[in-house]
Structure 1
């Protein structure tokens, strides 16, 4: 028994099944996690090794190179990058997608253990770390309304504990502010006079700040613990410490150093709208819902602001707000699209009950999709909801075909039950095939690599779930409901349909087309060839980009002072920048973080609906207002990517990478590259990765001399670091607060080259040795960091783009550098960034599109049990490609990854109308001639074809317009589908019947010719 027969015969059963689907789907919707994008696992591991005091060159030679050469043999490695900076080596390993990172990490530990023994003694043990793109803070808070000291205390005592009590919050990390600390500023001359060192002071302080158990005593019948209490109780206790000299004399600490009870030195300053502030970063627990946690934090911040009346706590960055707004926008577009689809149904059907019957397919299919998403561990995000929104019009397509056929049977006078059964079963094969063709196009997504697979596989699953659900509804619920409530106008028979004006007009066009069939096909082929040539030769302009920009309302300004600088100079720069941009009307919040030589501004804009200008235009104004600052380099970056920036790992739009052995040569080539591309239209924010470091003092340790006195390099580095920068040697606990005790030389005694040379260390023989005897001390410059890729040094020159397509700018950059950049022997140039990602992604998606076309053909061949009929139907694909490209050009939209995904979807969608038409022609051809069957079937299928096309198109119009937060990401897909579907449908109504007529005639001639040959051979044999 057919499924439609069962559904009509068992209405209660079908109703209960549908109610169960609705119930489970509604429950699943409340439990689906909500995020901006699908959870993505990036196959990256990092190896971090600290080598305190070493220059970038020393780090590269002693740490980075040995580690690289050892780990380069690990299985599954895709690329190997490293960064050697002062005192630190970072080695980045990118693995092929699908690699088991747990196993790779274990293999990496084994390899590291082999190289570890050969690393310098003073280097720390290499640490292997995962890179987790999902581990970024979900919110940033700024706290203002007091001094840095007061704000830090309020944050630690009140704000942080309250935030970390929220379910789902992992940490609330405080940055900035000043804490109380005790400083021991030692006098080098006094130390020399008494032949003492900093280590002896540190040892004496620790020894005087001890508590511990002494044992137990019996008091009566009880054993009581005895504990010595020798810890510092207050600051004055430090003044009583005495240091014992080699001669046995006791020297008061106050005689050797200035003791200061104060606060941390200012190393950074934060601002909120011009007021000094501190920051708090909110990190959620791994499995928590981002939006739920953010809402709880927002409520807690509101409570804290009402309680702490003198303190202003502002949410400066809220990823969850963008997620909420984006998802709300997609849902709104989805609802509007669904309403438009229903209106189109009513216009065509002019029957309220029929419209209601079909309209029920949308909510039922969507709720079924939510249920399947829940069981498949998917989340509600821009990608999955975008998939549902893209398919909302298609959810009624199957139901339209079924209902229209049931409606036609009822108009012929057939009874309700039989009409429902026969009408549904008659088209069941066709709509099943059309659904499978749409689903089949997503199978090649499995073969896509990189982040694309993780980004679009959830979308493929979502669309597949929704379409299969709609097919189930069309074959079960629609026939059952039609048999109960459908009211039919008896004048809606096939004959009456043919008398409608638009059908008569179509019949005339079709009849003329069949008479001039070869001209029609020739015209189509010529047009397709000319159009393709126009695209290939750039006669028809088609812009390209990697991902559509998404206005997230955040702009970051990075400013760097050239040369050595102080926190005071940086603070002045921050004030200058603030005064230049604070009057821009779209700015809602302005935060700043000031460090020595660097200023980072974060500009939060008003919500999108409250401003007239987009984020890129505002960023350009900030860039214009911030230029012409002497000795300052400015980088203004608008946050526009939902997956974190280009280049895969947050790179730039354009990136030229020059590889070679010599750093000086690389730097010159990098500077030349910067000069050559500066004047290219659309280039912004040029950044050269390799730069000379500031003037510095190099302490070259004489290892032989150091060993003669019993020192290791680590001993010297540690001691000098304590002398210059200070070291925490102990703590004072007062009123429950732990206060660090810092030991260092007085600033005026460690800042000059001569005083640095006179820093004394004590050898094991108790001999005082000046640093100048253990190391060569001289002024010089070096490189701030050294970058390598696949064990070769390189320099990268990156840039962002503005108001020009990525593809055009990349072509200009490559042309200019190929013509004017002279590369010495042994130096090569490659290109990365978003442009390289775009090229790689496009190639993969083009391959996926070809596979999709092949799979669609296979599905249709299986349905028709024919190789010829699917070939005819495939003529809709080039028609749709022309329409999709025209849609992009007319709307001024660039072809992006999202657009290509839409094109792949289009392959499975555009064949559906042709499948139903060819299937109907084949059925009619059994009773009449080929031409009569075409002229009979095509007009009858005209209305359902127009209905399915227009419902799909109009449902996508809200997405194509791109209204609302985050809508930019779905817009290219919607435009491609609309353009391709409209163009292909209009021509399909003519081209497919014409091609069918030609191909079927040729096939019949070939069969007759073949039979004639066979017949002749039989006669000859006789």
Structure 2
């Protein structure tokens, strides 16, 4: 390596060509690299869904979900299974084991599920798909104050046009419901005309049909024969003939039934700003994504199309990721430039101007190299990779500072340019190389952390690893040659230059005087009182840990970052009437308008309005409203407060199972604590759930205790009476006729244009809502005899469910709670629950298993894997250093400061006043790398002085003074480079601040550790080694005398 460095120092063509190659490569890389708001996360989840129309959750669980679970649970590659049984369909989710091929598992699951022979006859074909997370670049609302079918027709055309745009992968309609023809027969009319549901369905199947009938190959060519009688509209179906009595009359569908076109999904609604709407999700191209180009193409299409659309139909973007992408790009670019300027100014104050310039230029070369390589390793320009460039601004300059400072020191000692560059680089070759490799090793574990958000953060370590690689190349092969021409400063002649130099000399001399007059005596005292010094640092470390355990430093798996939209969710029980659901949507929309005049919100408002737009969804019993905030609102008013006031204006909804407003970015954070109960015994599971909720209610500060059990109305269980057998009527006959009347008999399923439409024969809607319709219906035997339902069957009320949750082949019950009191958080609730409550619950309910769930489980998995990978990284670093230094003790001294980097990160979070989160932990990795770098430089200098004959104490004091400037400069530049983002108040920056805080304060606090604590540890280690060697000599001497 020394020869390679010497060659590049003495061959200017090689150094310059390498630099030009990197810069040219960055141009090609920047043209090729994708641009997306958030990195595409590979999915490790497989969904299996199967419909069973008309069935309740219990039937779906028994006949759909459990058979699928039992068929696939023992497949290789299945890590976990979670399932849900709903009304009409079941879903089984499979988490793929890490390292197992997902597509292979999909095929194996399909094979197993296809082999199941016990599925109900009326169930539909299952769908097995890998759940890929696709990037939606824009959401468009096509809306108007017209019929929903008109809006849908235009939305379909717009969807097709947008999907053809070159920068768009696909476009999906959201908020549409398939049309359905309903032919409604009352019990009275069926008895009057002597017909049944089945007869009407059969008549439709016989008449409403297109049949190809072959062809005639004649002299004039081929003539196709066909019968075309397919019905498509209400009018077509009304005219279908049901019967032709002997009197010559004709009975048509319209004579005995009401025919109407409706929607397959009943409790369904989508509106944009109060008007009927359909949403179009625009997905970015998966290959070479470019969020800005995609957005521009769609907006250009909207502008052109708006002039061609009727005035009653409007198109408006609801969300557009290109805007926050551009905001983030501008934010980070500006802060990176500001950080670079600050770094250059700091270097200028303490180093030669040309030396400071070339050291700062190394940052640009390292970034250019990263842009060249990143497209090849699957990293795009996204909000995380952009942040990574800012994060490492101060890190990539560290090795250049060390090399530049070493070369300049040789020049000050009288060596010429070439010799100084060569010898100066050689002098720090080993510590710089080891330092960069060590930092890279500490970032490697971040590539393998579990969890979706950790996988999304893949961009951060990859950018760092590539940039550090080029930083090392630049520092050792390009920078030394450029420093050849840097001359030792002489007195300038220009007045401005004189002033600048005078200022610089004051700063540089002040730093040197501080090192000689203050730091060296302080270090001497610390070494004399080494035990007290070490204990003081250990005490500070223990205090930081205590602050966490005592709750002064709050913890959250995901940072609490305000969003620029609010999501309102209202979930009502199955017993809540449909007409009331639509009124509740209007009530929530009206309450949203009331926010604009809310006295508690308008005091600090600068914008004219809070709300930009609102999209309302009603699907079954759940209402969801997405309210987009006016740009700039989040910087003036807390979105969480807006959400709280929105709920206040809605007012109390006693029947609601869920009512919440989410106003933060990332995973929902409505619950601080979550626990999962599992059991095959549903009765014990419910009792254990109530026991757990009662126990949580007794913990001070814990509120909003709830579970995810969704109990519906009572189910009606039909039992056959003995008399039915005498009439030849079976339970199947009764069940099928009840199903035909209330769920409907599917007469046909046809394609009408772009729609897949069902034709259902059933009771009128008003009759389907009454239990009396069931008890008053007639059951028809095979011989056509009609008997009252009550004479052949009876009904029993049994407990019902709106849905049934399952986890790993057992019924599950999730219980959540909110820590609202001071000094109480998730960790404290968990400690109380798992130390006391869990044991008591297990004794009372032996068939119930208790598991951590939700954020607690994910957080535990993340920190467990992170601690393991971090420990492995430290072992690897120790091994590398032990080999390089040929010592077992020196690497321990180098690594001893790593815990204090964590201490600095914790104190930083306390000072800034933010929670310690997932991204805070990632910042600790980065801080540890910088800390190791500083310690390496110090230990290497100590070893060099020891080889030159200095005593341990003298070597420690001299090395501390010699390396004081580069250590302080690396710490200051790292901290200063992050100051712009640390002080940023925009919404885009809040997501980044936890990681920046860990790195900035971790490095800042660790400098004192490197300069004071490490020398004391080194001295204690040297003394211990001396004592052990003395004991060994005495033992050898005594053995020799004997």
TM-score computed with the length of structure 1 as normaliser = 0.88
- Note the C-alpha offset of 1:721: 4.4
Instruction: Please report how far the alpha carbon of residue 416 of structure 1 lies from its aligned counterpart in structure 2 after TM superposition.
Output: 1.9
The yes-or-no answer on 1:795 pairing with 2:795 is no
Structure 1 residue 824 and structure 2 residue 839: aligned? no
| Counterpart check, 1:560 vs 2:580 | no
Superposed displacement of residue 954, structure 1: 0.8
**Deviations 1:894-925 (CA, angstroms, capped at 9, x unpaired):** 22222222223322221212222232233344
CA distance in 1, matches of 2:85, 2:152: 37
Distance 1:1003 1:237 in 2: 99
Stretches of structure 1 lacking an aligned partner (at least 5 in a row): none
Query: Over residues 399-420 of structure 1, what are the superposed CA-to-partner deviations in whole Å (9 max), with x where a residue is unaligned?
Result: 1111222222222332222222
Separation in 2, partners of 1:587, 1:255: 49
Cα distance in 1 between the residues matched to 2:805 and 2:753 = 48
Aligned to 1:192: 191
Correspondence for 1:846 among 867, 874, 890: 867
1:980 aligned onto 2:999: no
User: Over residues 336-369 of structure 1, what are the superposed CA-to-partner deviations in whole Å (9 max), with x where a residue is unaligned?
Assistant: 22222112111212x4322221121111101211
On the 8 A contact 1:144/1:151 being kept in 2, the answer is no
Give the 3 Å change call, closer, same or farther, for CA 719–801 of structure 1 in structure 2.
farther
Higher deviation after alignment, 678-687 or 896-905: 678-687
Give the conservation status (yes or no) of the 8 Å contact 2:243–2:252.
no
SS for the counterpart of 1:442 is: helix
Structure 1 stretch displaced more, 539-548 or 178-187: 178-187
Q: In the TM superposition, what whole-angstrom CA distance separates every residue of 1:505-530 from its partner, at most 9, and x where no partner exists?
A: 32234543465455532123222343
For residues 508 and 70 of structure 2, the distance between their equivalents in structure 1, rounded to whole angstroms, comes to 80
Question: Which residue of 645, 670, 673 corresponds with 1:621?
Answer: 645
Cα distance in 2 between the residues matched to 1:539 and 1:234? 69
Find the counterpart in structure 2 of residue 507 from structure 1: 516
Q: Quick one: structure 1 residues 216 and 609, their matched pair in 2 at CA, closer, same or farther if it must change by over 3 Å?
A: closer
With normalisation by structure 2, the TM-score equals 0.86
Q: Does 1:252 align with 2:273?
A: no
Is it true that 1:691 corresponds to 2:702 in the alignment? Answer: no
Q: Say if 1:640 and 1:514 are closer, same or farther in 2 by CA, change over 3 A.
A: closer
Relative to structure 1, the CA distance from residue 193 to residue 435 in structure 2 (aligned partners, 3 Å threshold; closer, same or farther) is same
**942-951 or 211-220, which moves further after superposition?**
211-220
8 Å CA contact 2:702–2:819 kept in 1: the answer is yes
For the Cα contact (< 8 Å) 2:838–2:850, is it kept in 1? no
1:2 partner SS: helix
The one of 856, 870, 884 equivalent to 1:863 is 884
**84 and 257 in structure 1: CA distance in 2 versus 1, 3 angstrom threshold:** same
- Aligned residue among 767, 770, 774 for 1:756: 774
Pair 1:1016–1:821, CA change in 2 (3 A): closer
CA distance, structure 2, for counterparts of residue 290 and residue 717 of structure 1: 56
Deviation at 1:716, TM superposition (A): 6.7
Task: Show structure 2 runs of 5+ residues with no match.
Answer: 493-500, 597-609
Distance in 2 of aligned mates of 1:764 and 1:169: 58
3-state secondary structure, aligned to 1:41: coil
Range with bigger deviation, 356-365 or 197-206: 197-206
Contact 2:350 2:507 in 1 (8 A): no
The 5-angstrom pairing of residues 851-930 of structure 1 reads 851-930=872-951
Post-superposition CA distance 1:867-911 (Å, at most 9, x none): 232233233224333322222222222222222222233222212
The answer on whether the counterparts of 1:694 and 1:782 sit within 8 Å (CA) in structure 2 is: yes
1:759–1:771 contact (8 Å) kept in structure 2? yes
Asked if structure 1 preserves the Cα contact closer than 8 Å seen for 2:684 and 2:845, the reply is: no
* 1:90-114 deviation line (CA, Å, top 9, x unaligned): 3333343222223333443444355
Question: Could you tell me whether the CA contact under 8 Å between 2:350 and 2:508 is conserved in 1?
Answer: no
**Does the 8 Å contact 1:924/1:933 carry over to 2?**
yes
Q: Between Structure 1 and Structure 2, how many residues are aligned?
A: 1008
User: Where do residues 449-460 of structure 1 align in structure 2 (5 Å cutoff)?
Assistant: 449-451=450-452, 454-460=455-461
Could you tell me how far 1:975 is from its partner in structure 2?
1.4
CA contact 2:52–2:124 (8 Å) conserved in 1: yes
What is the alpha-carbon distance in structure 1 between the residues aligned to residue 661 and residue 575 of structure 2? 25
Cα deviations across residues 473-515 of structure 1 (Å, max 9, x unaligned)? 01121112222455644999xxx99993432332234543465
Give the counterpart of 1:656 among 675, 688, 703. Answer: 675
Q: State the match for 2:319 in structure 1.
A: 317
Partner residue, 1:334:
336
- Give the root-mean-square deviation of aligned CA atoms: 4.0
More displaced 10-residue stretch of structure 1: 422-431 or 934-943: 934-943
Contact 1:682 1:803 in 2 (8 A): yes
Contact preservation (8 Å) 1:887, 1:976: yes
- Tell me, yes or no, if the aligned pair for 1:412 and 1:490 is still in contact at 8 Å: no
SS of residue in 2 equivalent to 1:476? helix
Q: Equivalent residue of 1:47, what SS?
A: strand
Change (3 A) 1:170 1:358: closer
Deviation string, structure 1 residues 848-879 (Cα, Å, up to 9, x no partner)? 33333322222222222222322332332243
Q: Please identify, of 858-867 and 766-775, the stretch whose mean Cα deviation from structure 2 is larger.
A: 766-775
| CA drift at 1:958 | 2.7
Contact persistence 1:730–1:741 (CA under 8 A): yes
Aligned to 2:154: 155
SS in 2 for 1:694: coil
Deviations 1:950-986 (A, max 9, x none): 1111112233335434433332222122222112213
Q: Distance in 2 between matches of 1:774 and 1:102?
A: 52
Output aligned runs, 1:11-410, within 5 Å: 11-112=12-113, 116-132=116-132, 134-135=133-134, 137-149=136-148, 151-156=150-155, 158-176=157-175, 183-217=182-216, 220-231=219-230, 238=237, 240-244=239-243, 251-254=250-253, 256-258=255-257, 260=259, 264=263, 267-284=267-284, 286-287=286-287, 289=289, 291=291, 292-308=293-309, 309-349=311-351, 351-410=352-411
Alpha-carbon distance in 2 for matches of 1:268, 1:224: 47
Match of 2:844, SS state, is: coil
Q: Look up the match of 1:4.
A: 5
Question: Measured at CA, do residues 41 and 719 of structure 1 come closer, stay the same or move farther in structure 2, by a change above 3 Å?
Answer: farther
Specify whether residues 780 and 282 from structure 1 end up closer, same or farther in structure 2 by C-alpha distance, changes over 3 A only.
farther
Match of 1:603 in 2: 627
Report the equivalent of 2:979: 957
Q: CA deviation at 1:844?
A: 2.4
Checking the alignment, whether the CA contact within 8 Å between 1:545 and 1:807 is kept in structure 2 is: no
Contact 1:232-1:732 at 8 Å conserved across structures: no
User: After superposition, what is the alpha-carbon deviation per residue over 1:128-157, rounded to whole angstroms, capped at 9, x for unaligned?
Assistant: 33233x147544332333223364255246
Decide whether aligned partners of structure 1 residues 213 and 472 sit closer, same or farther in structure 2, where only a CA change above 3 A counts.
same
User: 1:92 & 1:957 partners in 2: Cα distance?
Assistant: 44
CA 1:515/1:6 → structure 2, altered by over 3 Å: closer, same or farther?
A: closer
Contact 2:184/2:762 (8 A) holds in 1: yes
Aligned counterpart, 1:782:
800
**Alpha-carbon spacing, 1:499–1:276, altered in 2? closer, same or farther (3 Å):** closer
User: Hey, what's the Cα distance between the residues in 2 that align with 1:806 and 1:127?
Assistant: 38
Write the distance in 2 (CA, Å) between the matches of 1:916 and 1:95: 44
Task: Check conservation: 2:446, 2:454, Cα contact below 8 A.
Answer: yes
CA distances 1:562-612 after superposition (whole Å, capped 9, x unpaired): 562333212222222223332335332222223564422222223356632
Cα displacement (A) at 1:1015:
7.5
- Per the alignment, residue 477 of structure 1 pairs with 478
Query: Is the Cα contact below 8 Å between 2:678 and 2:813 reproduced in 1?
Result: yes
Distance 2:750 2:550 in 1: 76
Cα 1:426/1:511, change in 2 over 3 Å:
closer
Q: Distance in 2 between matches of 1:238 and 1:170?
A: 39
